[in-house]
Amino acid sequence: MPSNPIIISANDCSPFENQQGHGEAIQYFIAQKSTFNVFHLSDKSKQDDLDIAYFSYKDALWYAGRLIGEATFDFGEQTYKIIIKPRFGNVQLFRMLEEVFNVRLTDSKNTIQKKNDFQFLIKKLIAFLWLNLLSKANKHGIPRENVSKTYKGTTVRGRIDVRRTILPLKTEDKIVSRYREKEADTAIAKLLKKAYHILNAEYHLPQVKTTQNARNAIQQIISTKTSNTYFTELNYQNIRYREIYKSFKPVVDLSWDIVRKKSFGNMDDTKNSGMSFFLDMAEIWEIYLRSILKKRFAKTGWRLKKEKLKTYKTKDFARTLIPDIILEKDNDVMVWDAKYKRMEFDYYDYDRADFFQIHTYINYYHQSKNVIAGGLLYPLSKDFNIERQFKNKSETLFNQEATKTKYLIDGIDYTDLNEEKVKREELNFLSRIAELQIQ
């Protein structure tokens, strides 16, 4: 790969720098979306609009989407490197990840801030995520399965295999018996071991602080005898989890991502330009909001629900509605959609599709519940102020007196960020949502 690739960089949801004359290269890269190495943090991954970039006809510019990361690729006779960073900086990203995984990333921050290579950040976050999921999963040791074994000797282990005993009994005075023994699940252990070696060699795993629980699991994985054969898509799809080991599914899924996408970077497999790593900021934003709202509202008896709403079940136009955040207490409900989009309170920031989507969710719950409030939650790119919020909140749905449901656009002020302000604005946001309970 040439030592001087053309750098095309941007913050997420923002226009690319140095894009003049490189529009065709960006368009080419977008067309290869199936090769993006996107790592997800939850089972609910929004795959509907994961374009890495889009063209805005409003100002004739290419904009980055919601993915952060980097990739190197060849187009024409030139090598390009696309870099997309979190638009609010690493402070906001780390705060969200700390909340989601209930850890402090101080050591990681100090190390990463000394690095200019953004790929280092993404790789290290993936290594951290893998260790965290492994630690949480390792409640009863790595998954084990019953394996049937054969024993030939003068004693019996398990049950005698009469057919296979006839000849050895005459010639060797030995009995063949069959017994069952618990061993590590071969497929799971093999996949976890392969992922561990890749993470160790390429994802800076040794630099990530490891819990005792994760170290115990790694020791079990390494000590398990597995073959060096290729791990296939069919092997992965055939993995089954006993109830006691279902907690391993997230780390197994992530391991498969790591193993499957080890060599993917260039769009042309005949050349090996580089590697691409991306995280979905919209997914992180949603999980983060769910976490802080759950903590805050659990104190007053509210519970966070995850629900798929089946509509028109017997019709050809049946659809499933999946609200991001549902808070419920007795017959009271609040319904929210997390939107990791640009919100500077300009006219074009208010997406028409998002508006109708959240109103559909609210109206669905109106059939059987008392919907106190609902709306869209954004990371705010302009200072929060009371006067503007008055224009972004309605005391009744559709601003009509038929219902008492409050509708609003709200979020967390992420302007001029530092660690102290992140936590302060987070508390301010939670207080505003809590006040909605007061009728």
Question: pLDDT (tens digit, 9 = 90+) per residue, 77-129?
Answer: 888 989 899 999 888 888 898 888 776 655 444 444 444 456 677 788 888 88
Contact 267, 74 (CB under 8 A): yes
Do residues 317 and 339 both lie within one domain?
A: yes
Scanning the structure block, which residue is given the tokens 């719950």? Answer: 365
Asked if 379 and 288 count as a contact pair (C-beta separation under 8 A), the reply is: no
Last residue of a domain, one of 126, 160, 184: 184
If asked whether residues 88 and 222 sit together in one domain, one would say yes
Q: Which amino acid is at 434?
A: A
Q: Which of 69, 48, 27, 88 is nearest to 280 (CA)?
A: 69
Give domain status of residue 170, yes or no. yes
Do both 149 and 192 map to the same domain?
Answer: no
How many whole angstroms separate alpha carbon 346 and alpha carbon 348?
Answer: 6
The pairing of strands 144-153 and 78-85 is unpaired
Q: How many domains does the chain have?
A: 3
Q: Would you state the pLDDT for residue 158? A: 67
Does residue 150 sit in the same domain as residue 250? no
CB 92 within 8 A of CB 115: no
Residue 287 within any structural domain of the chain = no
- In this structure, are strands 53-56 and 370-380 parallel, antiparallel, or unpaired? unpaired
Answer whether residue 135 is part of any domain: yes
pLDDT of residue 43: 59
Domain range holding 324?
299-435
Contact at 8 Å (CB) between 408 and 375? yes
Residue 293 belongs to some domain of the structure: no
Q: Do 180 and 217 lie in a common domain?
A: no
Pairing of strands 332-338, 370-380: parallel
Q: What is the pLDDT of residue 167?
A: 72
Question: Are 101 and 84 found together in one domain?
Answer: yes
Count Cα atoms within 13 angstroms, Cβ side, for 335: 23
Are both 258 and 353 inside the same structural domain? no
Paired sense of beta strands 78-85 and 67-75, if any: antiparallel
Where would I find the beta strands (DSSP E) of 20-75?
A: 38-39, 53-56, 61-64, 67-75
Judge if 111 and 200 occupy the same domain: yes
In the 3-class helix/strand/coil scheme, how is 246-260 assigned residue by residue?
HHHHHHHHHHHHHHH
Look at residue 46 in the predicted model and tell me its pLDDT: 47
CA 115 and chain centroid, separation: 24
Q: Determine contact, residues 287/133, Cβ cutoff 8 Å.
A: no
pLDDT of residue 108: 47
Q: pTM to 2 decimals?
A: 0.77
The whole-angstrom separation of Cα 432 and Cα 354 is 21
- Is position 1 within any domain? no
Rounded Cα distance between 297 and 303, Å, is 7
**Residue 388: predicted pLDDT:** 81
User: Are 240 and 134 found together in one domain?
Assistant: yes
State the Cα–Cα distance between residues 216 and 307, nearest whole angstrom.
35
- Spans of the chain below 70 pLDDT: 1-3, 33-36, 42-49, 103-119, 146-147, 149, 156, 158, 162, 169-170, 179-181, 262-276, 438-439
Closest CA relative to residue 210, chosen from 85, 343, 103, 56: 103
Express as a percent the part of the chain with pLDDT over 90.
Answer: 30
**What pLDDT, on the 0 to 100 scale, is given for residue 290?**
95
Residue 332 shares a structural domain with residue 256: no
